[in-house]
Structure 1
């Protein structure tokens, strides 16, 4: 729906390179140059300063007129995206770009169950997904880099809104050869956690915050534990436990395959139950619309069905 010359112009302005813009648009470089030249003739001003790039393929720069036009071109492109969404809503369909953010555990173990089915049902949605720890995803939402996030810990900010998606449980895992697994005494005492190497997620991780809070309530502050390694993913903790580097707390969502294979075992801890919510997060003071709203509703239904 967007004027194609303006689309080419925006690509060149973003890349500051005719060659890179041609790659993005899947056009030849001469074709990109021709479209820009035609646009310049149409508006009657020069949009790019090509002096720096002549004969060398280096970056070009926008003229003052180019900067002015770029503002209007971006606004026009956003208007067309909104138009597509509005038209799709008339047919009860979601369409257009959907920028999702998901914390590591959610992105790796939960979303793959949902995204394929959602995109089959909403083929006009163009999805992009970024992952990181909870703190990073909340920041991306606050900075409007993603429209909707899914996190595994408290948001810790007032400029975002959260809503429960599904409940999760964090459980303690150990190697099948660990003494706690081999003995016949059943659940361990919580105090025993101070006597073994513990594998933890990195600072800023929602999983880590939840585990730290739960252990502190049981009288075990972080300083009382033997933190052997801090790792940046649930998969790394599982691998570390398999390699007998220590024990660790992970989401039950992550354990289906490794439990079936017998690679790790769940160890019960007397009196300790760590439950948390995987939550949607979006900018406070706004309402989800279009593809983001459609995905939220679809995801909740998909989890309920599971």
Structure 2
């Protein structure tokens, strides 16, 4: 990093509102973080954090400094990227957000493949449901959001980069295991679903409606905020669920869960990347976007029997 180190410490404390969490993030001791903040406050001649009442909050001075600290980080990243690009490489920080399915099952492999050709890019990633990641994107907390399905909004651009298939998952000894059922039969079983705001849930409800099954007719017995929670609940015999094919591979290999087919139900969806409306991203962000788009082209050629 070529930026002022004290500002980097300030941003971390401001983000977490915790000296101890900032110390963990920066691999420093808590007294070292306190010392850096004290030195910065001495430079400005005003306190930047209110430490009263056992809680930490930004003072008026800290709130005024924060946007400039963010701008200086961005300028530092741009400088690093410009020097790297002048020599035919990419560098700098790439901050990604991903829906939980993508973040847990797809993103690690994508990052590993990308870093083979761009090892100087520093990547951070966070996960949440699709709605949360779009909020983080518009708040400029991340550069790209990898989400489940398209979002029709004027303030973001969305481009697909992968097709995903969702499967009906049942306990290993369930009567539907390895069988095909009619869509209406789904109303007979307890159904486990992701929370509202989840891209997975939206895709499932739209597909069921298209197949003639109204969401109000389903017996949604439990809502969980993670795919792993859904799978564990199915293994415990609490119901059946729909999850990405990526998510259930290990359980199918071990035989702890089985698949069932639903006649006429189309549950293919697109994994997409989203970024703020405007010019296409450049630098490390643009390089990762191009990497994802190139994967689509390669996959398409393979499906057509090309090279």
| 1:154 and 2:150 are equivalent in the alignment | yes
Deviations along 1:168-223, one digit per CA (max 9) or x if unpaired, are: 111111111111127xxx41111111111111111000000000001011111111
Cα contact 2:9–2:37 (8 A) shared by 1 = no
| 1:277 and 2:270 are equivalent in the alignment | yes
Find the counterpart in structure 1 of residue 305 from structure 2: none
Cα contact 2:195–2:224 (8 A) shared by 1 = yes
| 1:262 and 2:279 are equivalent in the alignment | no
The aligned runs of 1:1-306 (5 Å cut-off) are: 2=2, 6-8=4-6, 11-12=9-10, 15=13, 24=26, 26=28, 29=32, 32=36, 40=43, 46-49=44-47, 75-181=71-177, 186-301=179-294, 304=298
Cα contact 1:240–1:246 (8 A) shared by 2 = yes
Find the counterpart in structure 2 of residue 43 from structure 1: none
TM-score with structure 1 setting the length: 0.81
Cα contact 2:6–2:37 (8 A) shared by 1 = no
Alpha-carbon distance change, 263 to 14 in structure 1, aligned in 2, over 3 angstroms? closer
SS at match of 2:160: strand
Count of residue pairs the alignment pairs up:
293
C-alpha separation in 1, matches of 2:37 and 2:248: 53
Please state how far the C-alpha of 1:300 moved relative to its aligned partner.
4.2
Please state how far the C-alpha of 1:256 moved relative to its aligned partner.
1.6
SS at match of 1:180: coil
Please state how far the C-alpha of 1:87 moved relative to its aligned partner.
1.5
C-alpha separation in 1, matches of 2:219 and 2:65: 59
Cα contact 2:98–2:145 (8 A) shared by 1 = yes
| Greater alpha carbon shift after TM alignment, 158-167 vs 21-30 | 21-30
C-alpha separation in 2, matches of 1:58 and 1:194: 49
C-alpha separation in 2, matches of 1:61 and 1:289: 32
Please state how far the C-alpha of 1:59 moved relative to its aligned partner.
7.2
C-alpha separation in 2, matches of 1:59 and 1:201: 34
Alpha-carbon distance change, 276 to 73 in structure 1, aligned in 2, over 3 angstroms? closer
Please state how far the C-alpha of 1:146 moved relative to its aligned partner.
0.9
C-alpha separation in 1, matches of 2:133 and 2:267: 22
Please state how far the C-alpha of 1:126 moved relative to its aligned partner.
1.7
C-alpha separation in 2, matches of 1:133 and 1:69: 31
C-alpha separation in 2, matches of 1:172 and 1:296: 31
C-alpha separation in 1, matches of 2:222 and 2:119: 43
SS at match of 1:99: strand
C-alpha separation in 1, matches of 2:63 and 2:78: 23
SS at match of 1:271: coil
Cα contact 2:147–2:272 (8 A) shared by 1 = yes
